[in-house]
Amino acid sequence: MSASSLPADRDAPIRFAAAVLLSAVFLAPLGMALLTSLKSPAEIVQILSLPHRPDWGNYAVAWNQIGRSFINSIAITLPGALLSVLVGAIGAFPLSQLRGRTGMIIYFFLLTGMLVPYQIVQVPLFDLMRHLGLYNTIPGMWLVHTAYGVPICTFFLRNFFASVPKSIFEAAMLDGCGPAGYFFRILLPASKSGLAALAIIQSRSIWNDLLFAMTLTSTDRARPVTVQLNALTSGLEVQYGPLMASTLISIVPVVVAYLVFQKAFVRGMLGGSSK
């Protein structure tokens, strides 16, 4: 840890070596997944063996299984993540400003939501979504992910907004900028790296959601990748080759999302919080 604050020239090689070593540990399980995805069933019994001849058949099976749902997942995740971050920001802003009891109570109340085990909300939720006519629709999934994202997004951004110095707010007020103006013109741009981090976290959690998708979608019209991916492990035998192949395919969009939002991190820093 201390290494990061030493002058770069002296410890750069040490940090680089540490990063390489850690990367190897982080990659080992994935490397095994990659190997497995290239093996025929007969070869999988030898856990650590190299595939005799790369068997791309697993990728064909995988794509066949998840291809259609891939598009659904993208259509659910992108708007879902953006909407939930937006709603979270809207909720977090007043909570980061209100310092009285009211603010604290509302905040506490929203936080309890984070502790509700999602398994228990499924039946009432199913009824609700059917009554709204949103069962098995992609917009329905946006709504659900936005709603269930409220506690975590509010919590996340409230704390992030708290790291923006108070003096900026006061200066803005003196400049005659209302709270809404401050929120849109100053606070949001100043919190870009936080918003981007949250967007990554939300994208990943929406992309990986299985429970809500199982309850609220039934056909190819709205079924996401996770449902199809899990089908590979249901029944008696787990289809390891196709499972690993589809896993590797399915994490690509999340990594892309990470890289895209990651850019916003950097821009957030360069743009700075100056008005």
- Window 66 to 85, contacts with other proteins (CB under 8 A): 79, 82-83
Residue 168 binds to other proteins (criterion: CB under 8 A): no
Distance of closest approach, residue 38 Cβ to other proteins, in angstroms: 15
Which tokens hold the place of 15? Answer: 């940090």
- How many residues bind other proteins, per CB under 8 A? 151
**Of 56, 259, 260, 275, the one binding other proteins by CB under 8 A:** 259
Distance CA 251, CA 260 (A): 14
Residue 260 binds to other proteins (criterion: CB under 8 A): no
Distance of closest approach, residue 10 Cβ to other proteins, in angstroms: 11
Contact between 190 and 273 under an 8 Å Cβ cutoff? The reply is yes
Residue 86 binds to other proteins (criterion: CB under 8 A): yes
- Window 96 to 125, contacts with other proteins (CB under 8 A): 97-100, 104, 106-117, 119-125
86 HSE (CA, 13 A, CB side): 9
Contact between 93 and 184 under an 8 Å Cβ cutoff? The reply is no
Residue 58 binds to other proteins (criterion: CB under 8 A): no
How far is the CA of 59 from the CAs of 70, 163, 186, 240, in angstroms? 14, 46, 47, 12
Q: Among 128, 156, 150, which residue's Cα sits nearest to residue 216?
A: 128
Residue 249 binds to other proteins (criterion: CB under 8 A): no
Question: Which lies closer to other proteins via its Cβ, residue 56 or residue 252?
Answer: 252
**Of 60, 238, 260, 275, the one binding other proteins by CB under 8 A:** 238
**Of 159, 175, 260, 275, the one binding other proteins by CB under 8 A:** 159
Distance CA 245, CA 167 (A): 52
Question: Which lies closer to other proteins via its Cβ, residue 56 or residue 230?
Answer: 230
Distance CA 54, CA 40 (A): 8
- Window 180 to 209, contacts with other proteins (CB under 8 A): 180, 183-185, 188-189, 191-194, 196-197, 200-201, 204, 207-208
Residue 152 binds to other proteins (criterion: CB under 8 A): yes
Residues 6+ apart with CB under 8 A from 57: 40, 241
- Window 123 to 142, contacts with other proteins (CB under 8 A): 123-128, 130, 132-140, 142
Residue 174 binds to other proteins (criterion: CB under 8 A): no
Residue 171 binds to other proteins (criterion: CB under 8 A): no
Q: What is the dihedral of CA 80, 78, 75, 58, to 10 degrees?
A: -120
Report which residue type is found at 222.
Answer: A
